[in-house]
């Protein structure tokens, strides 16, 4: 398993959100503007983007720099995930996807699907939560009392059943009008189980 960490130009990671072993074991990829906070955490292996947020001349000389034209069809986040995939990463951890511009935050959630379609696992960590894209039957380990929320990635997702949540759900269809039904649930133990159909955004609180 090859791991990659991607740093985007949203909110910087909290101190307890990133582990030293994750930094040492992973290919570290930084989107240009994120370098302002990343340089205080580690020296990234790669810094890429159109450098509209920070000049390439300010980057540590040991970093590989990949420059893209500012007028491009893809966000820096998309390009960073694609670079990680091209380097063989099958486990991708993304920081800085949340916070900042709301349109970019929305676009960054699609990075989970981009990775999944390529056969890689991905998660977004930030704002005290971990965000993953799930389907089928799955079990998640959390701390008891953690907030758990779910939302359809596409227009509709169907929750067949849940176990280990304060508010059980059975045969619930989630869509844009009924997403509130699956917001702010609570884990009653150190893990919970969900069986679902359709791509489901899962938000679990890091406590």
- Position 59 pLDDT exceeds 90: no
Cα–Cα–Cα angle for 179, 116, 142, rounded to 5 degrees: 60
* CA distances in angstroms from 146 to 80, 128, 192, listed in the order given: 30, 10, 11
Q: Answer whether 111's CB lies under 8 Å from 94's CB.
A: yes
Element (DSSP H or E) covering residue 5: strand 3-7
Identify the sign of the CA torsion 184, 185, 187, 191. Answer: negative
| Mean pLDDT of all residues belonging to the chain | 92
Spatial separation of the C-alpha atoms in residues 34 and 10, rounded to whole Å = 7
Report angle CA 172, 152, 15 to the nearest 5 degrees. Answer: 120
Give the pTM.
0.92
List pLDDT tens digits, range 137-180. Answer: 999 999 999 999 999 999 999 999 999 999 999 999 999 888 89
Neighbours of 112 (CB within 10 A): 26
Q: Supply the pLDDT for residue 7.
A: 97
Which residues are paired to 94 by β-bridges? 6, 124
Residue 68 is predicted with a pLDDT of 86
**Statement: residue 60 has pLDDT above 80:** no
Instruction: Report the first-to-last Cα separation within the chain, whole angstroms.
Output: 27
Q: Picking from 69-78, 167-176, 192-201, which range would have the lowest pLDDT averaged per residue? A: 69-78
Q: What is the pLDDT of residue 207?
A: 87
Please give the pLDDT value at position 163: 98
Residue 56's pLDDT is 62
Average pLDDT over residues 190-197: 97
Question: Domains, the chain, ranges and CATH?
Answer: 3-126 (3.40.50.10240), 132-205 (2.60.120.320)
> Span 15-24, mean pLDDT?
87
Q: How many CB atoms lie within 10 A of CB 135?
A: 14
Q: According to the model, what pLDDT value does residue 57 have? A: 61
State the greatest distance between any 2 C-alpha atoms of the chain, in Å, as a whole number: 55
What phi, psi does 101 have (nearest 5°)?
A: -65, 130
| H-assigned helices in the chain | 20-25, 35-38, 76-86, 102-117
Tens digits of residue pLDDT in 174-192: 998 888 999 999 999 999 9
What percent of the chain is predicted at pLDDT more than 90? 73
The more confidently predicted of residues 189 and 70 is: 189
Under the banding of pLDDT at 50, 70 and 90, the label for residue 55 is: low
């Amino acid at each position: 398993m090859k791991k990659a960490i991607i740093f985007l130009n949203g909110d910087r990671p909290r101190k307890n959100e990133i582990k030293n072993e994750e930094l040492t074991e992973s290919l570290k990829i930084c989107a240009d503007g994120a370098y302002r906070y990343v340089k205080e955490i580690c020296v990234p292996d790669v810094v890429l983007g159109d450098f509209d947020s920070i000049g390439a001349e300010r980057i540590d000389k040991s970093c590989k720099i990949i420059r893209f034209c500012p007028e491009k069809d893809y966000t820096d986040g998309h390009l960073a995930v694609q670079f990680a995939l091209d380097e063989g990463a099958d486990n991708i951890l993304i920081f800085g996807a949340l916070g900042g511009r709301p349109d970019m935050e929305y676009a960054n959630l699609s990075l989970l699907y981009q990775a999944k379609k390529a056969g890689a696992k991905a998660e977004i960590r930030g704002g005290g939560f971990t965000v993953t894209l799930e389907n089928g039957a799955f079990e998640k380990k959390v701390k008891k009392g953690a907030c758990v929320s779910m939302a359809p990635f596409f227009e509709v997702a169907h929750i067949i059943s849940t176990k280990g949540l304060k508010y059980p759900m059975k045969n619930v269809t989630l869509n844009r009008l009924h997403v509130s039904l699956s917001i702010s649930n609570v884990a009653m133990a150190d893990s919970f189980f969900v069986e679902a159909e359709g791509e489901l955004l899962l938000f679990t609180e890091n406590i």
